[in-house]
């Protein structure tokens, strides 16, 4: 039970153990633990930030979709209006063309009718004259019978 040299031996041993712990145990372990702590902290911060970013991105995408929808609507309505306008225009043009063609055809027809009448008049007059010559057998001059012929021509015209 008495104190003896063991005391000194134990003091040396204790000093050595403390020194070892001081040099080789405490600093690396504590540094590693602190490194992990900071890593965890950073990880948590990062995840929080990315969660925020995801929410932002979602909002942005919603906005973009809405915008695209309204744009599409605009485009559609524009296209509709344009096509209607094109149809209207072409209708108007076609009507105009039709009217033009119809009037020109009418004019032609009118002209043809006048010509035909003239030719018919001419032919008829000649035919009548020759027929009348055959029937009468005598000369019919214009000077003598011109009035009669003119009268029949006027009747024919009617």
Partner 1 sequence: MASESSGRTFQEYLEHHLQNLVYGRLPEGHERKFYAKGETDEEKAAYCQDGKNMDYDGDKYCKETLTEDGWYLANNKTDLEAMGFWAFNIDTLFFSLLLGSIFLFFFINAAKSFSLEKPTKLQLFIEMMIDFVNGVVKGTFKAGQNSLVAPMALTIFVWVLLMNLMDLVPVDLIPYPAEEIGIPYLKVVPTTDLNLTAALALSVFILYLFFSIKNKGFIGFIKSITLHPFGPWMLPANLFVEVIDMLAKPLSLALRLYGNLYAGEMIFLLIAGMVMINFETLTIAGVGLNLAGVTLSLIWAIFHILIVVLQAFIFMMLTVVYMNMAHEKFEQH
Binding mask 78-117 for partner 1 (x = CB under 8 A): ----------------------------------------
How far apart, in whole angstroms, are the C-alpha atoms of residue 146 and residue 129? 11
Residue 13 vs 76, nearer CB to partner 1: 13
**Site membership for partner 1, residue 21 (CB under 8 A):** yes
Distance CA 128, CA 122 (A): 10
Question: Which positions ≥6 away from 133 have C-beta within 8 Å?
Answer: 139, 140
Q: Which of residues 36-75 bind partner 1 (CB under 8 A)?
A: 36, 39
Please, are residues 149 and 125 in contact by the beta-carbon 8 Å criterion? yes
CA dist 109 and 111 (Å) reads 5
- Is residue 26 involved in binding partner 1 (CB under 8 A)? yes
Which residue number, 28 or 146, has a Cβ lying nearer to partner 1?
28
CA gap 92, 148 in Å, rounded: 56
Interhelix angle 142-157/26-136, rounded to 10 degrees, is: 140
14 touches partner 1 by CB under 8 A? yes
Looking at beta carbons only, is 5 or 137 nearer to partner 1?
5
CA distance 92 to 98: 10
Toward partner 1, which CB reaches closer, 44 or 86? 44
Residue nearer to partner 1 on the CB measure, 35 or 89: 35
* Contact between 32 and partner 1 per CB under 8 A: yes
Which residues in this chain contact partner 1 in the complex, by CB under 8 A?
1-11, 13-15, 17-18, 20-22, 24-30, 32-33, 35-36, 39
């Amino acid at each position: 039970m008495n104190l003896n040299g063991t005391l000194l031996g134990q003091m040396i041993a204790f000093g050595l153990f403390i020194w070892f712990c001081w040099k080789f145990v405490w600093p690396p372990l504590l540094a590693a633990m602190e490194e992990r702590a900071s890593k965890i902290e950073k990880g948590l911060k990062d995840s929080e930030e990315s969660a925020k970013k995801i929410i932002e991105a979602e909002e942005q995408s919603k906005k973009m979709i809405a915008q695209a929808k309204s744009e599409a609507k605009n485009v559609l309505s524009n296209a509709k209006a344009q096509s209607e306008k094109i149809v209207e225009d072409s209708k108007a043009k076609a009507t105009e063309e039709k009217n033009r063609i119809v009037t020109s055809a009418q004019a032609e027809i009118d002209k043809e009718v006048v010509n035909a009448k003239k030719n018919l008049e001419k032919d008829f007059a000649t035919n009548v004259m020759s027929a009348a010559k055959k029937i009468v057998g005598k000369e019919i001059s214009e000077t003598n019978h011109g009035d009669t012929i003119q009268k029949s021509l006027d009747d024919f015209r009617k």
